[in-house]
Chains A and B, each alone.
Chain A
Amino acid sequence: MIDMLNFVNRATDQKGIVPLLSHICVHDGKLQASNSRMTIEGKCPQLAAHSFTVPAEKFIKAVERCKDVPKIERAANGTVKISSGRFRVTLPSLDAVNYPHQTFKPSEAVEIEAAAGFSLALRKIAPFISLDASRPWSLGACLTKDYFYATNNVTIVRTPVKWAGPVINLPGYIIQEILNIDEPILSIWASKTSVSFEYEEGWLRAQLYTDAWPDISKMFEKEKEFEDVPDGLLSAIEQLIPFCPDVKFPSIHFKDGAISTANGLQSAETGFDWKVQGIYRAEVLQLVLGVATRWSPHTYPKPVFFEGDGVEGLMVGAKR
């Protein structure tokens, strides 16, 4: 029961102004929670005899603190009592009928043939999803017929995957939940505004971003002259990063025969046998070199293409 409570609790909103959104609804042997952007429902046969809505965090803490199987009762005054031995917790509750239940399938949704490697594809691109709300569309991944895309405006990546649904902008926080749940997805239903994922023990339904991505189709079409990423490049860069003088803009400078931080009160340099020029944000390089096996560093200051670990992408450097 506790696993299912924690599964559903992902969708509660503990900081919002609508109290009901911090609650879990127990009804018909199922648990449901919603923060209005995402709803999660899960099977819970242990509570099949009950029907009420309780504050999620307190209910979970009460069940967790029971040393034996908790006894759960709802009193005539509407309170829920959770007890085990001499331990007893009383919580306020509401009737389940007052809870705004969501259904699994969004209206006008069609079933999408569950793409093989759907979750794996999301896992590959997730680190590249932006956190910058000034471009709201970039806070989600763009799912198209042949590729899933993600960008943080400095890099853009795509990974090939067959997607039979409509082109959608799947919010990054939903992707994170799907990855955290880490269970096989049995079916996917999608409309232009909502998407639902069915799991063996429950389901997740989410609102999609309505902000459309700009046209990105041509960005990947350029001629690429790839070369192998040299062995030891990432570790050489990570050796230097703690000594970047500008902590708000840690930069790595490639120059003939060496790699260095920017100059400043503190700085660092390491020899590296190559002929490459360029300046990049350190965390961008870390992200890209975490996946790239081949790249085109000589195109700097124009975007540098890279590929590896099932993704291809491009990144832009910094300029003075």
Chain B
Amino acid sequence: MALPDYSLKFYFSGSMGRADDHEYAVAKEMECRLCSCHGDYMAAAERWVEISNDKSTGITKYLADSGAFTSWSKGHKVDINQLIKTYHRIVDKLDTSKVQPYLINLDVIPGSKGKTAGTEEIEAAIKESDVNFNILNKEFGDIVIPVYHQNESEARLAEVDAMADYICVSPRNDLPEWTRVKWSEEVHSKLPPGKRTHGLATTGANMMNRVPWYSVDSAAWLYSGAMGKVDCWHGGKWVSINISKESPDRYNDRKHYDNADKLVRQVIEERAAFHNIEVSKLRDDHMARKLLNGLEIIEFLKEFKFEPKLMQDGLFDL
């Protein structure tokens, strides 16, 4: 199934939580999929290889993440040799005549959780990340994507830029969104025009509107559904509201589908009907909510058109 070439590649990430038809229903409309290869998620990553290969689905790009951050946050480290085997389990099974694989480099994250890394730790981590990049690049070729992080120098950006045609850019998750957006804009003002960049967890409205990403990824569609919400794209705006029958917000005025304004209820009902999903299912089943949220992102992407914006020059290096 050939989908239109949207101006922004949006990688759907995260695991829906249950292997059933809902995955295929969203995959039919989905162009790009990101899966973590961390041990806990590997079964889902391999299942999504099969889904991606299925000719009835729209997936043409599969981005595999090493799971380095997940491991690091649990106090573990990913072994490069183990990761090569894991990545082979993905790449070797993908039908590359349909699906283009990409592999995120095995980043070495400096410091430990809850402790800010010092300059020496950052430098050592960068060196080790580059060693990993070279090993993976030798094994898999130019489908390996290096990562540039917010706490790294401008000179490092030039190095990462030189390493590959397609690079990941990772704003810090512990900073306010406006700072992350500003930094991401600055990064792009220092990269050659047209450089393909992937923004890790960069799907805030401003982030996508202001920064000329080639691709982004997000699992927000799943979190929202899991927390009992639906996000509907309507008239150029997102309408988000709790709908789960379990949500405590059903007792808060205008915070839930049950007590929402008539117009909001109408939007939810129209969007659900558009995707052939029953409203009662949205109330009962997180998978139905996740499906609706995923399909609505695709509706948003159909309309999304990146317009180049003014860029603010800065006096200092990144």
A, B from the same assembly: yes
Task: Report which A residues bind B (CB closer than 8 A).
Answer: 132-135, 138, 151, 153-156, 214, 219, 246, 248-249, 251, 262, 279, 281, 301, 303, 314, 316-320
Partner of A153, one of B189, B309, B311, B315: B315
Partner of A249, one of B172, B179, B189, B210: B210
User: How far, in Å, is A282 (CB) from chain B's closest CB?
Assistant: 11
Contact B314 A214, beta carbon cutoff 8 Å: no
Q: Name A152's closest neighbour in chain B (CB-CB).
A: B315
Convert B156-176 into 0s and 1s, putting 1 for each residue whose CB lies closer than 8 angstroms to a CB of A: 000000000000000010011
Contact B179 A132, beta carbon cutoff 8 Å: yes
How many interface residues does B have (CB within 8 Å)? Answer: 21
Is B150 in contact with chain A by the CB < 8 A criterion? yes
Contact B315 A154, beta carbon cutoff 8 Å: yes
Contact A317 B313, beta carbon cutoff 8 Å: yes
A279-B315 contact, Cβ under 8 Å, with A132-B182, A134-B172: no
Residues of chain B contacted by A251 (CB below 8 angstroms): 310
User: How far, in Å, is B185 (CB) from chain A's closest CB?
Assistant: 9
A246-B309 contact, Cβ under 8 Å, with A134-B150, A134-B179: yes
Contact B179 A153, beta carbon cutoff 8 Å: no
User: How far, in Å, is A170 (CB) from chain B's closest CB?
Assistant: 18
A281-B206 contact, Cβ under 8 Å, with A132-B179, A133-B175, A134-B179: no
Interface of A is mostly: loop
Contact B312 A248, beta carbon cutoff 8 Å: no
Is B194 in contact with chain A by the CB < 8 A criterion? no
A319 to B308, CA, bound (A): 11
Partner of A248, one of B210, B308, B316: B210
User: How far, in Å, is B180 (CB) from chain A's closest CB?
Assistant: 8
A214-B317 contact, Cβ under 8 Å, with A134-B179, A249-B309, A318-B311: yes
A133 to B317, CA, bound (A): 14
Partner of B315, one of A219, A249, A320: A219
Convert B282-318 into 0s and 1s, putting 1 for each residue whose CB lies closer than 8 angstroms to a CB of A: 0000000000000000000000000011111111110
Is B223 in contact with chain A by the CB < 8 A criterion? no
Is B183 in contact with chain A by the CB < 8 A criterion? yes
Residues of chain B contacted by A249 (CB below 8 angstroms): 210, 309-310, 312
Residues of chain B contacted by A156 (CB below 8 angstroms): 315
Q: Name B183's closest neighbour in chain A (CB-CB).
A: A134
| Interchain Cβ contacts under 8 Å between A and B, 14 examples | A133-B175, A133-B176, A134-B150, A134-B175, A138-B316, A151-B315, A153-B315, A154-B313, A303-B315, A314-B315, A316-B315, A319-B189, A319-B311, A320-B311
Contact B311 A133, beta carbon cutoff 8 Å: no
Residues of chain A contacted by B150 (CB below 8 angstroms): 134
A24 to B172, CA, bound (A): 36
Contact B316 A151, beta carbon cutoff 8 Å: yes
Contact B314 A318, beta carbon cutoff 8 Å: no
Q: Which 3 A-B pairs have the closest CB atoms?
A: A316-B313, A318-B310, A153-B314
A194 to B189, CA, bound (A): 37
A135-B316 contact, Cβ under 8 Å, with A248-B210, A249-B210: yes
